Amino acid sequence: MAPSERIPDFSTFYKFYLTEHSHPVSRALHFFGTTWVFVLPVLAIVYEQWWLFALIPVVAYGFAWIGHFFFECNKPATFQYPFWSLGSDFVMYFHIITGQLPRKMEEARRIFPLP
């Protein structure tokens, strides 16, 4: 897909998103960062440490961007599609947990083949 083309819907975007996360270390870093999105609020509430909420985007995006810049060598989709990218993080997380990711990656590569 050319950089000037807009992706028309979330379903298509998610397939593109998966191909932008083809490196297993990058996906692991995304998974780890997204896990902290769930853990930090619980810790903040249990320990009444409200400042922990401020760490959520730092931790989540920090790990994800390490994956993009050092393993994928691409620009995060967050910059062009912030909401779809955020939603895709959670969908990919669910697909990893449920074991659906290999099939979803295969489907994505049929539409967006890797170079």
- pLDDT, tens digit (0-9, with 9 covering 90-100), for 37-76: 999 999 999 999 999 999 999 999 999 999 999 999 999 9
Q: What is the pLDDT of residue 2?
A: 54
Q: What is the percent of the chain where pLDDT is above 70?
A: 97
Residue 39 domain-assigned (yes or no): yes
Residue 1 domain-assigned (yes or no): no
Q: How far apart are CA 18 and CA 41, in angstroms?
A: 27
Element (H, E) at 8: none
Q: How far apart are CA 62 and CA 6, in angstroms?
A: 26
Q: What is the pLDDT of residue 80?
A: 92
Residue 3 domain-assigned (yes or no): no
- End-to-end Cα, the chain, rounded Å: 12
Residue 21 domain-assigned (yes or no): yes
Q: How many domains does the chain contain in total?
A: 1
Positive or negative, the CA dihedral 12, 16, 19, 24 is negative
Residue 88 domain-assigned (yes or no): yes
Domain housing 49: 11-111
Residue 25 domain-assigned (yes or no): yes
How much of the chain is in helix, strand and coil states, percent to nearest 5?
75, 0, 25
